[in-house]
Amino acid sequence: MKRFKLMTLSLAFLLFSTACMGNTSSVFDNTGADTDPLKTAVETSAEDPENTDNGSDTNTEDTQNDPSEQADIGTDASEISSSDGGASGYFNSTDINGNPVSQKIFTNAKLNFVNVWGTFCGPCISEMPDLAELSGEYSSDEVQFIGIICDVYYVDDAGEAKKIIKKTGADYTHIICNEDMFDWGVDDMEYVPTTLLIDSEGNILDSFVGSRSKAEWKSIIDSELKN
């Protein structure tokens, strides 16, 4: 149901929106230009959806600190091991060429730059050439760039995404957004592009909504590497 929900909403966006606004594009509508660019996109589900604290910090830290909130995709929190990149949950999907991808991909590098984007999103596509250049400026075991395509659910539907990737040069790994990816966290994201910084154990260190310049991303990455 989650997959069909986002597919329907993405199609509505394509029909009624002529262009992405500002430096974000809403997964649900075209009001992304008004969002705070530092708004955290990955939030854990509150036990009482009517009891929220608008003055509180992001829920990403709560997810990391509370093991009971980490058991995604039917996995007991006690089974999650940092050695397999599962600190924030497990997933199994494929890249755009059909190669299997799981949360173990995070163990390949000290820092993972995970960019969630959509083929309908102008700001997403506009920053991809910069991300492509940045991906070549770090060693693969230091910083790994990963894309998650929020509106591509099957390999057979990846044709347009492949064209965009080829045109922008962003030829790093791009993951198909299947049900596991939605459960892992994509379903909680309201705007794209959304970028997560994830360590080798799968912990989400930080998150950013909206596109940024190459210089801004480099500063963010370098600062995180120093920590």
SS3 81: coil
The β-bridge partners of 102 are: 92
Q: Is the omega angle on the peptide bond into residue 49 within 30 degrees of 0, that is, cis?
A: no
Domain boundary assignment for the chain: 2-50+57-226
The CATH number of 2-50+57-226, from 2.60.40.1730, 3.40.30.10, 1.10.3720.10, 3.40.640.10, is 3.40.30.10
Contact assessment for residue 103 and residue 202, using Cβ atoms and an 8 Å cutoff: yes
Give counts: helices (H), strands (E), the chain.
6, 9
Please state whether the predicted TM-score (pTM) of the whole model is above 0.75. no
Q: How far is CA 58 from CA 101, 109, 113, 143, 227, in A?
A: 28, 25, 19, 24, 20
Digitized pLDDT (tens) for each residue of the chain, 227 residues in all: 444 444 444 443 343 333 344 576 665 433 333 333 333 333 333 344 444 344 334 343 343 444 333 333 334 433 444 469 999 999 999 999 999 999 999 999 999 999 999 999 999 999 999 999 999 999 999 999 999 999 999 999 999 999 999 999 999 999 999 999 999 999 999 999 999 999 999 999 999 999 999 999 999 999 999 98
